[in-house]
Structure 1
Amino acid sequence: MDLPLSFIFSVATIFGLLVFGYLAWIKARANSSNNGKGKKVPEAVGSWPIIGHLHLLAGSQVHHKLLGSMADKFGPIFTIKLGVHPVLIVSNSAMAKQCLTTNDRVFASRPKTMASEILGYNYATFGVAPYGPYWREIRKIILLELMSHQSRKMFAHIRVSEVKSSISDMYKTCKRDEGSSEMMTKVEMKEWFGNLMLDIVVRMIFGVRFSHGQQNEDEYKKAIRRVFVLFGASVPSDAIPGLRWLDIGGYEKTMKKTAIEIDAMIDGWLEGHKKMLGFKEQANESTDRGFMAILLSRLQERKEDLYGFSTDVVVKSTCMALLLAGTDTTSSTLTWALSLLVNNPHVLEKCQKELEKYVGKDRFVEESDLKNLVYLQAIIKETMRLYPAAPLSLPHVSTDDCVVGGYSVPKGTRLMVNLWKIHHDPEVWTDPFEFQPERFLTSNKEIDVKGKHFELIPFSSGRRICPGITFALEAIQLILANMIHGFEFQNPSNDKIDMTESPGLSNVKASSLELLVSPRLPPHVYRVSI
């Protein structure tokens, strides 16, 4: 079919303007990049006109491993071009420390992207909001009302009851199948961890139970997972803004559809809170109302919008950020941990012996036991080292010129810290690709994951460090301890579990984790009242 001449002319004009703008931008960057403060950062070879290195990201290899291979060639600090945007790639602990301590304020903001605009309520969502007074205000509320020691203690009963309920349900499933010839029950553990974390986080944030089997449950789960994938996608118009009208790949259409689905789910819970009588008094009386009720109560006390955002937008965007941050990443870490344990039965056996020593075999693991389970903690650290939940940190953007490692970094440069590459640095870690929890009991005993030791920063560091570190660690320890204490796990085949990673913002195991499960404690332990 012949195309209209007007259409051809329009495309040619736009393409010409893009080329002209790109060349002008290249010249401007060249004039400003060497500002006398340091030498120019090495740039990876293979850049194409206009698109830069975008073509390299189009392959099947996950981006953190691709960029890790590039770091082997170009060093621990180099740049790539994603369309019109220069991106600083940092791949060792020394360079990461300079970016997230010395230059922490400079790199504290986030770049503008289509996902942050459409899925992030026009940049109101906490994790992708620009650095400034709005972000600081929301962060303060989250830390005080949800992540402080007192708040976590108040919400602890939710985590404990949901874990006990899920374990009891799994035991009942095993008992129903106890007459099978295999004497073990097949359970898809990746899905099981995902459901459990969804139950915990939804109840903590929204004050409701997410009933499995309810209408639209699958759609909600798929929408939540799709948000993670879309935030981690390489969207062409993010690299070359002039292409947005073409919607190459259909990203904008998919994002708008997903945003509507997520907003409808959260808006339903918000309207439910608004309709409850005596809201303000009840919100302060019971944590069963959830963080949404507390946040709504605080914001309703204000007489004006919060830095241009309405109360509804702030509440929904903040709660969505917490929902996403607390489910996919945590369940992924649990999935990787159990996969590693099944692939390394001697480690699993050693951890079970530690549990028997400090807990016994007549009760569940309680939160007060966790401080004694040092080998379990080492397993979790080693899992986060090998499979960080977000292997590439969320992108930062510099708001001023700065110097990193003696190199000049111009204002407007995007920053990506390759956490996966840092965690596999052979100069820091002996046998970096091997699963060796014992390293955290000996040579690396003092290293923790809370952002102070840059050899291991699965939650990142600096101003933009994940505020939910303690919540995530408490949840992962309690769930994993009870699972491996309460059940035996076995791979249905004699092969090792497939450890292939999938692309996206969070590091999700590509395949399912179907295991044979059987109880290992006396029957009365599983009969608990919730």
Structure 2
Amino acid sequence: MRMEGDGGTVHYQMEYYYELTGFVLLLFLCVHWVNRRHRHRRHLEKLRCLPPGPTPWPVVGNIFQLAFVKVPHESFAQLARVHGPNIMTLWLGSMCTVVISSNEAAREMFKNHDVVLAGRKIYECMKGDFGEELGSMITAQYGPKWRMLRRLCNTEFFLNSRLDATSGIRHRCIDKMMQSMHEASGSGANSIDVGRFFFLMAFNLIGNLMFSKDLLDSKSKKGARFFHHAGKVMEYGGKPNVADFMPFLKWLDPQGIRKNMQLHVRKAFRIAGGFIEERMVGLEEKANKRSKDFLDVLLEYRGDDIEGPSVLSSTTINIIVFVSLEKPITFSFYTKEMFTAGTDTTTSTLEWAMAELLHNPHIYEKLKTELRNTISPDEKFEEKHIDHLPYLKAVIKETLRLHPPLPFLVPHMAMQSCQMMGYNIPKETQVLVNVWAIGRDPRTWEDALEFKPDRFLERDKMVDYKGQHFEFIPFGSGRRMCPAIPLVSRLLPMALGSILHKFDWILGDGVKAKELDMSERMGITLRKAIPLKAIPIPY
């Protein structure tokens, strides 16, 4: 009896353990199911609290809804008028994107959420041999490394005293551009591609600021190769990459964009590295024979290990050098984060300014009159004249309002979730500021689609582009605003004023002013769909 009883007790205990184990497992599954339901419900609540936007399609999101016009910023602006004139949500595949389309929303973003929205998203074409720890101030995540690079810009690269010291370089590059324009036009007989000459000037200017040399000298094969690979980086970087919007395709690289991008980046890095090696040889002897340039600053940098590294690695210097010439920027649906020339932004602004002037002859005549009444024909245009040319500066501002070089700025990313204007912005959400739409908002600007520089001469419209007037932020605002504004504010009026003072301009190929094509082409920057052809006639 005891044996049977013992066996029965053991059997009973085993059944008890089985039942207890089953109960615990069932309880665990129930808790897990409830937890998943709770998390799913919270996720849906977060989505419901997102800013309004068009209903996304499965997998592709709102991508096809953006394809009804040629340029993405116009698509975004049209959708915003319907779904959220201030703030709107779009799904680019699986990528959640919040679009800012009014100066009120921009003010809220940059004034109250600047730090939390100061992140950067790394796109597929930016990944490769140099990894995601990019040395570029544009792509670096907000933190010690970024603050170190920003401090270099503020205290070394774009300091007023340094810009004063390099005014001769700008004069020389602009003079060479005008000489090349004169030669290419056959002394006013032929039309020229105006944008091409602006690009060469800006590229060589940055080459001189960085390396103290012209990179695109006609005799320099190395400079020509660098120009070629930089152009290919821009070409591949300007293509939309489905791998950015559908992560399961990343490993395939179906369009070959990442592969080709990295091929040309590596070759450009090798050439830039050669420039650095040339500088390292006999650095001390040569330093006394010329003024300090940006590369000297990078090579001589010594930090404190608190805000970034104590010295800059050769890879970091390479990236900074390359990015100084090829400025990275993202355009979400139509493009992704990519290398694009810092020179390209200068080129697009100057080409648009010339196009608008030739498209509006009465404005061109008014500006030409101001220039020639201020500076005599036998006098050379200099930077000191800029402060005495308010209409020239107004033309530059009006060009930037209508044709901002980067219509979405460089996209921001939410580093943490936050609440903005009553809506939830989840962590890692991409945030685009549509400055093209803000600059054309009829609620802010009278006759918003017309080119009227006089609006910037009126007392109540004396706004600047330094980030505090949120209806006019072509270079951004807040911590991640473009650091090169001090250089830009000198270069743009200097280059435009010089060629208008030296030459009379007429449209080429018999095109009349009102017939000039003013359509846009979205690539690296906002460019004219058809390059401007004009004839410079010596004055």
Q: Which amino acid aligns with 2:192?
A: V
1:200, distance to aligned residue in structure 2 (A)? 0.7
Q: Which residue of 2 aligns with 1:497?
A: 516
1:157 aligns with 2:168: yes
Q: Are 1:53 and 2:62 matched, yes or no?
A: yes
Give the Å deviation of 1:473.
1.7
Q: Residue type of the partner of 1:286?
A: R
Structure 2 SS opposite 1:403: strand
Counterpart residue identity of residue 260, structure 1:
R
Kindly report which structure 2 residues correspond to 1:50-199, keeping only aligned pairs within 5 A, or say none: 50-57=59-66, 61-75=70-84, 76-118=86-128, 122=132, 123-173=134-184, 177-178=186-187, 184-199=189-204
User: 1:25·1:84 contact (CA, 8 Å) conserved in 2?
Assistant: no
Offset from partner CA, 1:281-309 (integer Å, 9 cap, x none): x547733x52012211115x789995599
CA deviation vs aligned residue, 1:374-406 (integer Å, no higher than 9, x gap): 000000000001100101121111112212112
How do residues 489-528 of structure 1 correspond to structure 2 at under 5 angstroms?
489-492=505-508, 493-495=510-512, 496-520=515-539
Kindly report the root-mean-square deviation, in angstroms, between the aligned alpha carbons of the 2 structures. 2.8
Change (3 A) 1:173 1:81: closer
- Between the aligned residues of both structures, percent identity stands at 28
- State how 1:395-410 maps to structure 2 within 5 Å: 395-410=411-426
CA contact (8 A) 1:119 1:227 kept: no
In the TM superposition, what are the counterparts of 1:35-434 in structure 2 within 5 Å?
39-45=49-55, 47-57=56-66, 61-75=70-84, 76-118=86-128, 122=132, 123-173=134-184, 177-178=186-187, 184-210=189-215, 211-212=217-218, 214-215=220-221, 219-278=225-284, 282-283=286-287, 286-287=290-291, 290-299=293-302, 307=309, 311-325=313-327, 326-434=342-450
Q: Per-residue deviation at 1:483? A: 0.5
Secondary structure (helix, strand or coil) at the match of 2:221 reads coil
> Which secondary structure state, in structure 2, belongs to the residue aligned with residue 248 of structure 1?
coil
Map of 1:479 onto structure 2? 495
Q: In structure 2, the residue corresponding to 1:49 is in which secondary structure?
A: coil
Equivalent in the alignment of 2:10: none
What displacement does 1:341 show? Answer: 0.7
State the shift of 1:51 in Å: 2.2
CA–CA distance in structure 2, aligned partners of residues 421 and 218 of structure 1: 37
Return closer, same or farther for 1:432/1:29 CA change in 2, 3 Å cut-off. Answer: farther
User: How many angstroms apart in 1 are the aligned matches of 2:37 and 2:386?
Assistant: 55
Following the alignment from structure 1 to structure 2, what is the Cα–Cα distance between the partners of residues 305 and 461? 22
State how far apart, in whole Å, the 1-side matches of 2:278 and 2:376 are.
44
Displacement of 1:232 after TM fit?
4.8
Tell me how far apart the structure 2 counterparts of residues 27 and 425 of structure 1 sit (CA, whole Å): 42
Q: How far is 1:276 from its partner?
A: 2.4
Match of 1:127, SS?
Answer: coil
Offset at residue 60 of structure 1 (A): 5.8
SS at match of 1:128: coil
Specify whether residues 28 and 124 from structure 1 end up closer, same or farther in structure 2 by C-alpha distance, changes over 3 A only.
farther
Amino acid in the other structure paired with 1:61: K
CA distance in 2: counterparts of 1:119 and 1:56, whole angstroms:
35
Query: Does the aligned pair in 2 maintain the 1:426–1:432 contact within 8 Å?
Result: yes
Secondary structure of the residue aligned to 1:40 is: coil
Using the alignment, how far apart are the partners of 1:169 and 1:26 within structure 2? 69
Distance 2:320 2:67 in 1: 32
1:214 Cα offset (Å): 3.3
| Superposed CA offset, 1:341-384 (max 9, x none) | 11111111111111112111111211100001000000000000
> Can you give the 5+ residue segments of structure 2 that lack an aligned partner in the other structure?
1-34, 328-341
Q: What CA distance in whole angstroms lies between the structure 2 residues aligned with 1:101 and 1:119? A: 37
**In structure 2, distance between residues paired with 1:503 and 1:451:** 24
Deviation, 1:313, is: 1.4
Alpha-carbon deviations, 1:227-278, whole Å to 9, x = none?
Answer: 3454454322222222112212221122112212321221111111122242
Change in Cα spacing, 1:357 to 1:217, as seen in structure 2 (3 Å) is same
- Counterpart secondary structure, 1:238: helix
Cα separation, 1, equivalents of 2:506 and 2:460: 30
One-letter amino acid of the counterpart of residue 210, structure 2:
I
Q: 1:324 deviation in Å?
A: 2.3
Aligned to 1:21: none
| TM-superposed deviation, 1:216 | 5.7
Q: Equivalent residue of 1:249, what SS? A: coil
Partners of 2:93 and 2:245 within 8 A in 1: yes
Question: Please, which moves more after superposition, 207-216 or 464-473?
Answer: 207-216
* Residues 150-201 of structure 1 deviation map (CA, whole Å, 9 limit, x = unaligned): 1111222111121123223433455xx35xxxx6332211101011111111
Contact 1:80 1:87 in 2 (8 A): yes
In structure 2, the residue matched to 1:14 is none
Query: Superposed, which structure 2 residues align to 1:7-18 within 5 Å?
Result: none
**CA distance in structure 1 between the partners assigned to 2:518 and 2:247 by the alignment:** 36
Contact map agreement 1:111 1:414 (CA 8 A) in 2 = yes
3-state DSSP of counterpart to 2:251: helix
User: In 2, Cα distance between the equivalents of 1:347 and 1:263?
Assistant: 44
**SS at 1:391 equivalent:** coil
Secondary structure of residue in 1 paired with 2:450:
coil
Q: What is the rounded CA distance, in whole Å, between the counterparts of 1:484 and 1:330 in structure 2?
A: 17
Q: How does 1:437-476 map to 2 (within 5 A)?
A: 437-442=453-458, 444-476=460-492
- Which structure 1 segments of 5+ residues have no match? 1-23, 521-530
How many angstroms does 1:40 deviate by?
A: 3.4
Distance 2:362 2:130 in 1: 44
Distance in 2, Cα, partners of 1:303 & 1:41: 41
Distance 2:41 2:232 in 1: 38
Letter of the 2:155 partner, please give it: L
TM-score normalised over the length of structure 1? 0.85
Between the two proteins, the alignment pairs up a number of residues equal to 485
Q: C-alpha separation between the residues in 2 aligned to 1:304 and 1:441?
A: 46
Looking at structure 2, the residues matched to 169 and 267 of structure 1 have their Cα atoms a distance apart, in angstroms, of 29
